[in-house]
Amino acid sequence: MNNFIDERKNLILNELNNYGKVSVAQLAKKFGVTTETIRRDLYALEGEHKLKRIHGGAIKISFDKQEPSHMQRRDVYREEKQKIGRKAASLVNDNEVIAIDAGTTTCEILYHLKDKKNITLLLNSVAALNIMIDLKNKGVFDGKIIFLGGEINTDQLSCIGPISENLLNNFYVDKAFIAVGGINIQNGITGFDINEANLSKKIMETSKEVVVVADHSKIGVRNFYKISEIQDVNIIVCDEETPNEWKDTLNKHEIIWIKA
Neighbours of 146 (CB within 10 A): 15
Please state whether beta strands 120-123 and 158-160 pair in parallel, antiparallel, or not at all (unpaired): unpaired
Please determine, for residue 221, whether its predicted confidence score (pLDDT) is greater than 60.
Answer: yes
pLDDT for residue 123? 93
pLDDT for residue 48? 80
Backbone φ and ψ for 236, nearest 5 degrees, come out as -120, 125
As a whole number, mean pLDDT of residues 22-38 equals 90
pLDDT bin (cut points 50, 70, 90) of residue 210 is: very high
pLDDT bin (cut points 50, 70, 90) of residue 187 is: confident
Average pLDDT, whole number, for the chain?
A: 86
Name the more confident of 160 and 42: 42
Q: Are 86 and 64 in contact (CB under 8 A)?
A: no
Distance CA 125, CA 164 (A): 11
Backbone φ and ψ for 42, nearest 5 degrees, come out as -65, -40
End-to-end CA distance of the chain: 36
pLDDT digits (tens, 9 = 90+) for 110-157: 999 988 999 999 999 888 999 999 999 999 998 999 998 887 877 767
Neighbours of 120 (CB within 10 A): 16
pLDDT digits (tens, 9 = 90+) for 52-101: 888 788 877 654 444 544 444 455 578 889 999 999 999 999 999 999 99
User: How far from 202 is each of 109, 170, 227, CA to CA, in Å?
Assistant: 20, 12, 9
pLDDT bin (cut points 50, 70, 90) of residue 222 is: confident
- Tell me how many degrees the CA angle 107-214-238 measures, rounded to the nearest 5: 110
Please determine, for residue 240, whether its predicted confidence score (pLDDT) is greater than 60.
Answer: yes
- Which helix (H) or strand (E) element contains residue 35? helix 35-47
Highest mean pLDDT among 102-116, 139-153, 211-225: 102-116
Grouping H, G, I as helix, E, B as strand and the rest as coil, residue 211 is strand
pLDDT for residue 62? 58
> What region does 27 belong to: left with phi over 0, alpha with psi -120 to 50, or beta?
alpha
pLDDT for residue 174? 97
Q: Are 110 and 122 in contact (CB under 8 A)?
A: no
Q: Are 232 and 188 in contact (CB under 8 A)?
A: yes
Which residue, among 90, 142, 88, 151, has the nearest Cα to 120 in the 3D structure? Answer: 142
Please determine, for residue 204, whether its predicted confidence score (pLDDT) is greater than 90.
Answer: yes
As a whole number, mean pLDDT of residues 215-231 equals 87
Domains and CATH numbers, the chain: 2-59 (1.10.10.10), 70-259 (3.40.50.1360)
pLDDT for residue 166? 87
DSSP 120-178: EEEE-BHHHHHHHHHHHHTTS--SEEEE---EEETTTTEEESHHHHHHHTT--EEEEEE
Which residue, among 98, 149, 91, has the nearest Cα to 119 in the 3D structure? Answer: 98
pLDDT for residue 119? 95
